[in-house]
A = this chain, B = another copy of it.
Amino acid sequence: MPETDNTPENLTRFDIDVEPHFQDARDRARIYLGDSLDILGQFPERSVHMIFADPPYFLSGGGPTCQSGRRVRVDKGAWDKPATIEVNHTFTTRWLEKCRRVLDDNGTIWVSGTTHVIHSVGFAMQQLGYRILNDIIWFKSNAPPNLGCRCFTHSTETILWAAKSRASKHTFNYELMKETAGGKQMRNLWEIRAPAKSEKTFGKHPTQKPVALLDRIVLAGSHAGDVILDPFSGSGTTGIAALRHGRRYVGIERESEYVELAVKRMQAEHV
């Protein structure tokens, strides 16, 4: 283990056992290929200013980023739903705990998710001592209709924004957000269109976020020069927004396919 540097000015000193898979020329961006829990455990404490995470979840069959093949099989040969939920909550708690260790005392974390996972996230945050500042509602005004007609059209996603603890003096660029909102306090409801298919120029990621969403998050919760971490980097939207606004970026992603996609997207942005 290298010497720990607890100042936040230490992106160039992340001298951990894992080589970054990608690192830009001026070391403003790194992406590590591997397991978030392992890699986060090697980062120095309090080394990042802000975290954005769009975590995978294991319910309802699982997607490509999912270790769902490794589920706990219970008696009677059937998937036990509550057991699966507990397993998922354990995973959620673990990565949120690792994130909290590397987060600056005045830093904040933003976690997006749909119904399947967001309540586990919110509850785990509260259990771990995070202080939830807002439930931000991302309203996708162009959401596709439900094919089944058994409930309301799912047109929102929730983003939980939390400070590290009750004692934090967290960053919030209030005036900038007020300007962006046309002179009034910005509300927790954000109408932002979901990315169209044609916007996914370099490939597909199942939950790719619009850059406009990450722009707002980066601008609201960080300063120029800050280090922003995304432990489930995916297609790299967080990195694009971070660099676009003069922040530094550390991503972690376990699928090399997505790392390549993220690098291509970041390079196409001339950042």
Residues of A within 8 A of B (CB): 81-82, 85-86, 89, 114-115, 118-123, 125-129, 132-137, 139, 143, 145-146, 149-156, 158, 161, 166, 170, 172, 174, 177, 184-189
| Smallest CB separation, A65 vs chain B (Å) | 21
Q: Which residue of B lies closest to A86 (CB)?
A: B127
Q: How far is the CB of A136 from chain B (nearest CB, A)?
A: 7
Cβ of A124 to closest chain B Cβ, rounded Å: 9
What is the count of identical protomers in the complex?
2
A119 to B125, CA, bound (A): 10
Known: A150-B170, A150-B174, A172-B150. A129 touches B187 (CB 8 A): no
Most B Cβ at <10 Å: residue of A114, A115, A129, A149: A115
Known: A120-B126, A123-B89. A156 touches B184 (CB 8 A): no
Assess the A149–B132 pair: CB atoms within 8 A: no
In the bound assembly, the distance between CA atoms of A114 and B119 in angstroms comes to: 12
Given A85-B126, A129-B82, A155 and B189 contact (CB-CB distance below 8 Å): yes
A193 to chain B, nearest CB (A): 14
- Give the distance in Å from the alpha carbon of A115 to the alpha carbon of B143 in the complex: 24
Quick one: closest B residue to A88, CB to CB? B126
**Closest partner residue, chain B, to A171 (CB atom):** B150
A156 to B189, CA, bound (A): 7
B residues within 8 A CB of A139? 137, 189
B119 engages A134 (CB within 8 Å): no
B residues less than 8 Å from A166 (CB atoms): 81
24 residue pairs of the A-B complex, CB under 8 angstroms, read A81-B129, A81-B166, A82-B126, A82-B128, A85-B123, A118-B119, A118-B122, A119-B120, A119-B121, A119-B123, A119-B126, A122-B123, A133-B150, A134-B154, A135-B156, A135-B158, A137-B156, A145-B185, A149-B172, A150-B174, A151-B172, A152-B188, A153-B186, A155-B187
Q: How far is the CB of A146 from chain B (nearest CB, A)?
A: 6
Cα–Cα distance between A126 and B188 once the two chains are bound (Å): 25
Distance in angstroms between the alpha carbons of A86 and B126 in the assembled complex? 10
Residues on B with C-beta less than 8 A from A132 are: 115
